[in-house]
Amino acid sequence: MKVENVYLAGVGTYVPALMPLEQAVESGAFGADEYKDSGMESVSVEDALSAPEMAVLAAGTAIRRSGHSPDDFAALLHSNTFIQGPDGWSPSHYILLHTLDRPITSTVIQQGCNGVLTSLEMAAHRLLADPEKDAVLLTAADNFNTPLVDRFHSSALFLLADGASSLVVSRRSGFAKVLAIRSVSDPKLEWRHRTDDSLLPPREPVGRLLDFETRVKYWQRKWADGAKPPGGNFIDLLSVVAERTLAEAGLSMDDVARVTHVGFNEDPLHALYFEPLGIDAARGTWEQSRRIGHAGMNDVVIGLEHLWLTGQVVPGDKVLMVGTTPGMEVGCAVVEITQGPDGA
């Protein structure tokens, strides 16, 4: 979708202290060979703040940078991939109370690691359809610091990282202009993140949560036994969505200065993202993401803020933001930097 008059007015993140992976190896939480193969240096770990509390901090920064007042906002959209608090509780309204404190709609967008880009698309629709208010607040946060999750082995593709991010989407102006945004799914790939066990009960009563690796190995065994893969191709999906989104903005990959992406380990990041996009690590945010890990949907915002604050992108530069989620679905946004970070 080509977008007119939609901007990113503010950005904020919260990245906790970084645990050197040597420390994880020494404690036995991570293998020495796994450390070497990952290409990663450290992972962000938060042991004091919950996910919603981290989101509040990130949002405070984004709101201050945006120049918007609380009365300007039409909605708050919060994204997460993991448990935020008590069952049946609303983390988005907790965040709303401690940020804008206005009686506006506030909801959770559970769209995996594409949550921020899905929220951005929904915010653009809201602002284009409703002229009453000028801004939408996006927040995202996860804290995996719990015995329920093994951040080092939930997947062979990444190390789960704690963190939060926030964007203020505005119809007025901002440090970046949204040129186009699009999400495309291939539901034939939904099998990748489950086994063929019954979906009742909806959650296993025991065992680790977010155990993607066990599900991957299940399908590998099925194929080894002669089962036919259900179909779908993630790499093709990624390539198609990126090309379509860029085309809607009147651009090609050659026009893109930098790409913000998920914080995967080195080899899968190259195979699943860099190669299909036709870029090298220098055009991505690998130099930063290898220090943080995979903070879910926060990765693309953490990367964008880092590029902007450090002057690695300047006014006129185009940035492609790429998110993905089980389903499978890929989201892309093209933004043009319009202002530098002076005074941010």
DSSP state, 274? Answer: I
Which range is least confidently modeled, 108-112, 266-270, 286-290, 325-329? 325-329
- 82 occurs within a structural domain: yes
CATH of the domain at 143: 3.40.47.10
So what's the pLDDT on residue 203?
Answer: 62
Query: Is the pTM here over 0.85, yes or no?
Result: yes
Residue numbers of the domain that contains 100:
7-175
Q: How many domains does the chain have?
A: 1
So what's the pLDDT on residue 8?
Answer: 98
Helix axes 115-129, 299-309, angle to 10 degrees: 80
- 69 occurs within a structural domain: yes
- 151 occurs within a structural domain: yes
Mean pLDDT, residues 270-280 taken together = 97
DSSP state, 325? Answer: E
So what's the pLDDT on residue 320?
Answer: 98
Q: What is the pLDDT of residues 228-237, one digit of tens each?
A: 777 778 899 9
Tell me: pLDDT of 257 over 70: yes
Mean pLDDT, residues 57-79 taken together = 98
For the chain, the average pLDDT equals 94
> Could you write out the DSSP letters of every residue in 225-252?
TTPPP----HHHHHHHHHHHHHHHTT--
So what's the pLDDT on residue 206?
Answer: 55
- 278 occurs within a structural domain: no
d(CA 179, CA 74): 21
User: Which residues 6+ apart lie within 8 Å of 203 measured at CB?
Assistant: 209
Confidence band, pLDDT 50/70/90 cuts, at residue 199 = confident
Q: Which one, of 315, 320, 316, 302, lies nearest residue 341 by Cα?
A: 315
Tell me: pLDDT of 211 over 90: no
Q: Which one, of 162, 156, 26, 13, lies nearest residue 83 by Cα?
A: 162
- 93 occurs within a structural domain: yes
Mean pLDDT, residues 40-55 taken together = 98
- 299 occurs within a structural domain: no
Tell me the two tokens of residue 75.
């909605």
User: Which residues 6+ apart lie within 8 Å of 97 measured at CB?
Assistant: none
So what's the pLDDT on residue 201?
Answer: 78
Beta bridge partners of 178: 335
- 199 occurs within a structural domain: no
Confidence band, pLDDT 50/70/90 cuts, at residue 281 = very high
> Could you write out the DSSP letters of every residue in 25-50?
HHHTSS-HHHHHHH---EEE--SS--
Q: What is the pLDDT of residues 108-158, one digit of tens each?
A: 999 999 999 999 999 999 999 989 999 999 999 999 999 999 999 999 999
Confidence band, pLDDT 50/70/90 cuts, at residue 214 = confident
Q: What is the pLDDT of residues 101-112, one digit of tens each?
A: 999 999 999 999
- 14 occurs within a structural domain: yes
